[in-house]
Structures are given as C-alpha cells and as structure tokens.
Amino acid sequence: MSSLVNGSDGNAQTRAVASTEPQDIQDHDVRPYSNPSETLAVDQTVHLSKIATNQDESHATSQLQRTVTTASAAGPVYSVFSKNQKRFIIFMASWAGFFSPISGTIYYPALNPLAADLNVSNTLINLTLTSYMIFQGLAPSFFGDFSDAAGRRPAYAICFSIYIAANIGLALQNSFPALFILRCIQSTGSSATIAMCSAVVADIATPAERGTYMGVAYSGSLLGPAIGPVIGGLLADFVGWRAIFWFLLALGAAFMIVFGVFLPETARTQVGNGSIPPKGWNMSLINILAMRKSRQLDPKETSERVEDEAALPRKKVTFPNPLRSVSVIFDKANALLLFYNGFIFAAFYAVSAVIPSQFAEIYHFNEFQIGLCYIPCGAGAMTAVLVNGRILDGNFSRWCKKLGIKIRKGRDQDLSNFPIEKVRLQIGIPAAYASVAFTCIFGWLIHVDGPLAAVLVVLFFTNFAISVSYNVTTTLLVDLYPKSPATAGAANNLVRCLLGAGFTAAVIPLVNAIGRGWTFTAFSVFLFITSPMLWLLYFRGMDLRADRHRRQEQKKILKEEGKILATGGEGGGAHESRQAGGELPQGPVEVKIEQGSTDIHR
C-alpha cells in the first residue's frame, strides 16, 4: 500500500503541477489529500506534500507541491462490493428514496376527508402540501452534508427515526396545527433520502456503469408519485385517512429492520472502497456479529487489526452546513444544469397537481378513479429507468472508444479531460425537448375534453421524457461531484422542490384565468426559451469546469502559503528546508517527476 500512497509503483506515471499554473490541475475525481482510506478507494490520488532533498542529490528545496498520481490498471478496484451486493445496496437506496414522494402524493385523496374532520377550509388543507414541498427542498441541505461526513447509515437512521415518529403523530392527531407541523416533520425525515440515492451510487459505481445504477436508484422516487394516489385513494375510501399514516409507518418500520440488519456502510469517507471495516454506528448488525465471531476465533489478530484501523484518518464529523449545497447552486455550470432540470420537473409537478381537479370536472371521476389515472405516470417513469440507464452507459463507452480511452472495468475513470457534459447531455437535451412538446399536447388535450385513452398515453410519454431528463441531470451531478454527491444531490433537490412548489401554486389560478391549453402552452414556451441553458453547458461545460477547479486550487495554494507564513517560517516545510541547507524558493516553481529523476525549473 505504501507504493500506492507514494506513487512509487513501477507502472505508475507521475507528474507534478506547478503551484502557479493551476490550469493544469485536474478535475474532481482526484482527491486533494491522500490518506490510507482514500488510497484504498480510488486509483487516482492527489496529495499535498513537502519535498525536502539534500543539495548533493538534486539541489531541490522544500516546497509545497501537488502531485497527481495515475496508478496502473493493477491498482485497487473502485468498490470491493460484489455485483449482487451492489444490486442490494441500490435496491435499498431506491426503496429509501420512495418514501418522500409517496408520502406527498398518497395524501392527495385524503384532503377532502381531512378538511371535513378537522373543520377547516380546503385552502388551509392545501397549505400542508406547500409546506411539505418547502421542507422537501430544505431538509436535504442539512442531511446531505451530514451523510458525506458521517456516513450513509447514520444519516438514514436519523431520517427514518424522524419519519416514523412523525407518522405516529399524524395518525393520532386531531387538529390542523398538529397536522401542519407534523407534515413538515414528516417531510424533513423522508426528503433527504432522495439526495442520498445519488450519494450511494457514487460510492459504489464507476462513471462507466453509473447511468444504469443511477436509473435504478431513482426508480423509487419516480414511482412514488405515480402509485401514491392509488394507494391513498384505496385507504381513504375503504378504511379512512388515518390508515394512510399507519401504512406509511409500517412501510418505514419494515425498511428500518432490513436496513439495520443488512445494509452496509458505503460512504468513502468512512470505508473507502468498502475494504475498511466500519466503526460505531456505521456498522450493521451483520458487521457486529462478524466482528464478535472474529474476536472469538483469533483475539490477538483482531486486537491488532482494531489498532491499525484506529490509526486510519477519517473525516471529522461537524455540524451540517446547509450552505455547502447552496454554494453548489451558485457555480455557473451547476446553475445552468440545476435550474433547467428544476424547470422540467416543475412542469411535471404542475401536470400532476392539475389531474385531480380537472379529471373530476372533465370525466366526473371519484378519488379512486383519479388515483388510477396516475398509473401511466408511473409506467412512463419506470420505462425510462429501464431504458435510459443502458443508453447513458452505452454513450459513455462510445465516447471512450472515439477518444481512444480504455475503460478499466471496476476502476475509477479520470474525467479531467473527458467531455462528460457532452456525453450525458446528448441524451438529456432531446429528452428535454420531448418534455416540452408532450407538456403542451397534454394541456390542449384536456382543454378540448379529449378522450381519456389519448390523455393517458400522453401522460405516459410526458413522464417518460421528464424522467429521462431528470436521470441525466442526477448522473451528471454525481460525475461532477463524486466526493460530495449527497451535497450536490441536496442542491438539486432544493432547486427542484422550490420551483415545483411555485409551479404547483400557480397552475390552478392560471387554468382558471386563461384555460388549460394556454396554461400548459405558457409552461412549454418558458421551457423552450430557457433551453439554451443546456446548449451552453453542452458546448462550454468543460471550460466552466476547468475555471472552477482553477479557482479551487488557487484558494488551496493561498491557504497553504498562509499557514507557512503564520508559523513565521520556522515550522513545516520552511524548517525542513533550512535543515537541508536551502531556502524557500521565490516565484513560480515547476516540478516534473519522472521515473528515477526529479527536475525543478524556476
């Protein structure tokens, strides 16, 4: 392992980048600091080191340098989890992501009975929908940052504890204030699971296989809005609205049992590529039982291993900082991607929100029949999941062949000089335009009271196109932020939910004011005139990404230089340099490291 840490593998090719020329600094999937846990996790490591050599050997002086090491194909695999283990982990992530959307939509058929039982107006009851979506956007900003630092298991445990407690309260409450507050708490507990879907995929999947895994992971969050009204209509009509929350409680408890026993920790800050045993509350019941058994078989070896694991550096857990996800939004390239994706998904929310009232008016459906009309939405989303993941991975492979890049199965891929924006958006842009077209067609079909069969077919294709576009966005975000995918996912969730809340609040007043057809025409025109955001990212994405990394590296260099100056030149690299008989170099320094030689140019 020392050869991996130091980049001294015989097949490794190493190059150092000048501290004053950050344009050569590579992208996001190389790591700014190297430690044993990360070395097990990736085959491309970035470490800041102070090199001190004596004058007789190379006349080199102590300096801060950034070394990018590309390990050989024989390096560590990206994830040690087997294919079946990966499938189980992705299934659990998808199941967890199912709770937030189903908890929002299963509630729709119960609005009228709730208003009657609590003796409040429909306007007040509808406020619980808006508040749910607001917290659905805000909560992941806290839990996303927390899961990147503390691990996925602690974040899941806290989220589902909150969620289960909220459902108990909702099933027992008898007043509107209690309903309003508990719905906010329920949203807080469930919404972060969507952001963590992308994080789990980033933990175990390389860019070459990420499309397929991402599609499956998000199938739960796309299926939830479709089947939620169906289940809610059945429970509300035949059992009562309280049964909805008891059902969600039972579903959440079932997840917690499976989660507690089987789901392994995947966060790379805690377990690397899965080869580092988890500690504390990152351990599943299976991990605990395995540890106890190993202690009984060989206490001495277990004790030595525990000491070695304790010496491994792990990321310090601090209070979650929601501003980290907000900072993702303010990056130019991210803003283009996140906001257009938010516009597309807001149109999906608008279509979903208008179905109950308009279908009741046009087709005279009851709550259960309206719920059945959401089935094509779910079918479209699931079809997109099955098809789009393979298309994304196939397009990635095609571009690798085109550029002469060999895909190393099971190992991370250097995306620094790879046009990942073009690779992903070649699928996403056509899907976005299809979403625009089908949204407009849906509006005019219900405007003229069109046949139900035609409307349901259009709903299928609308949700198919929107789901493909959303899947592309989330996959690209993980490609851009593999070290903090939950934080990036939280930023996506924040933009998507807040825009969705706005579109949902506006759609019914617009329908009443200008009619169904013109309302969705207005939405479609808005989506069309903002679509150049995607084209700008398509053509300038790599440049914008390089600018961001250049700024990040300049900040790191200035920070390290500030630390050296703060010691008064007597510590760290300055002290080592004086011991070697040299002085700290002034001005630009370029270090080139090749096998067996070191050249320094000033």
Between 410 and 95, the more confident residue is 95
Return the pLDDT at 319: 61
Return the pLDDT at 311: 52
Residue 458 sits in the same domain as residue 348 = yes
Count of helix runs (H) and strand runs (E) in the chain: 23, 5
Structural tokens at position 220: 């739960």
Return the pLDDT at 595: 41
Q: Which residues contact 551 (CB under 8 A, 6 or more apart)?
A: none
195-200 average pLDDT score:
87
Please provide the DSSP assignment of 178-232 as one string.
HHHHHHHHHHHHHHHHHHHHHHHHHHH--TTTHHHHHHHHTHHHHHHHHHHHHHH
Residue 153 sits in the same domain as residue 219 = yes
Q: Which residue, chain included where needed, has tokens 């067609």?
A: 441
Judge whether 316 lies within some domain. Answer: no
Q: What is the number of structural domains in the chain? A: 3
Return the pLDDT at 40: 38
Residue 510 sits in the same domain as residue 570 = no
- Average model confidence (pLDDT) across the chain: 78
Structural tokens at position 127: 């406020």
548-577 average pLDDT score:
67
Give CA–CA dist 602/587, Å, rounded: 7
Tell me: the pLDDT tens digits for 524-556?
Answer: 999 999 999 999 999 998 888 888 878 878 877
Return the pLDDT at 304: 54
Structural tokens at position 201: 């995929």
Residue 226 sits in the same domain as residue 289 = no
Between 533 and 505, the more confident residue is 533
Give CA–CA dist 508/501, Å, rounded: 12
Judge whether 539 lies within some domain. Answer: no
Task: Report helix, strand and coil shares of the chain as percent, to nearest 5.
Answer: 70, 5, 25
Determine contact, residues 67/593, Cβ cutoff 8 Å.
yes
Judge whether 272 lies within some domain. Answer: no
287-291 average pLDDT score:
82
Residue 450 sits in the same domain as residue 501 = yes
Tell me: the pLDDT tens digits for 6-55?
Answer: 333 333 333 333 333 333 333 333 333 334 343 333 333 333 333 333 44
214-233 average pLDDT score:
84
Rounded to 5 degrees, φ, ψ at 133 are -70, -35
Return the pLDDT at 222: 77
Nearest 10 degrees: CA dihedral of 373, 374, 380, 386? -130
Residue 372 sits in the same domain as residue 511 = yes
Return the pLDDT at 591: 42
Q: Which residue, chain included where needed, has tokens 């779910």?
A: 378
Q: Which residues contact 43 (CB under 8 A, 6 or more apart)?
A: 70, 71, 75, 76, 78, 411, 412
Judge whether 230 lies within some domain. Answer: yes
3-state DSSP of 264-302: CCCCHHHHCCCCCCCCHHHCCHHHHHHHHHHHHHCHHHH
Structural tokens at position 200: 């789990």
Nearest 10 degrees: CA dihedral of 292, 293, 296, 299? -70
Angle separating helix axes 210-217 and 452-480, nearest 10 degrees: 130
Residue 135 sits in the same domain as residue 55 = no
Give CA–CA dist 548/334, Å, rounded: 10
Judge whether 542 lies within some domain. Answer: no
Residue range(s) defining the domain that contains residue 296: 277-311
Residue 386 sits in the same domain as residue 475 = yes
- Does the pLDDT of residue 214 top 60, yes or no? yes
Per cent of the chain over pLDDT 90 is 31
Between 242 and 57, the more confident residue is 242
Judge whether 197 lies within some domain. Answer: yes
Q: Say which range, 71-85, 117-131, 170-184, 358-372, has the weakest mean pLDDT.
A: 71-85
Give CA–CA dist 110/251, Å, rounded: 19
Q: Residue 198: which of 497, 487, 426, 498 has the closest Cα?
A: 487
HSE value, Cβ hemisphere, 13 Å, CA-based, for 433: 9
- Does the pLDDT of residue 207 top 80, yes or no? yes
Residue 457 sits in the same domain as residue 397 = yes
Instruction: Give the CATH number for residue 166.
Output: 1.20.1250.20
Give CA–CA dist 494/472, Å, rounded: 17
Judge whether 560 lies within some domain. Answer: no
- Does the pLDDT of residue 574 top 50, yes or no? no
Residue 96 sits in the same domain as residue 154 = yes
Determine contact, residues 207/420, Cβ cutoff 8 Å.
yes
Across the strands, what pairs with 591? 600
Give CA–CA dist 214/233, Å, rounded: 30
In terms of pTM, does the model score above 0.75?
Answer: no
Residue 49 sits in the same domain as residue 185 = no
Judge whether 423 lies within some domain. Answer: yes
216-233 average pLDDT score:
84
Between 93 and 58, the more confident residue is 93
Across the strands, what pairs with 67? 16, 47
Please provide the DSSP assignment of 9-65 as one string.
-TT-EEEEE-TT-GGG---TTSBSS--HHHHHH-SEEEEEEE----TTTT-----EE
Determine contact, residues 204/79, Cβ cutoff 8 Å.
yes
Rounded to 5 degrees, φ, ψ at 549 are -70, -30
Give CA–CA dist 511/519, Å, rounded: 6
Give CA–CA dist 394/353, Å, rounded: 35
CB atoms within 10 A of CB 510: 18
Q: Say which range, 79-88, 309-318, 431-440, has the weakest mean pLDDT.
A: 309-318
Residue 180 sits in the same domain as residue 246 = yes
Q: Say which range, 151-165, 216-230, 269-283, has the weakest mean pLDDT.
A: 216-230
Tell me: the pLDDT tens digits for 585-599?
Answer: 444 444 444 444 434
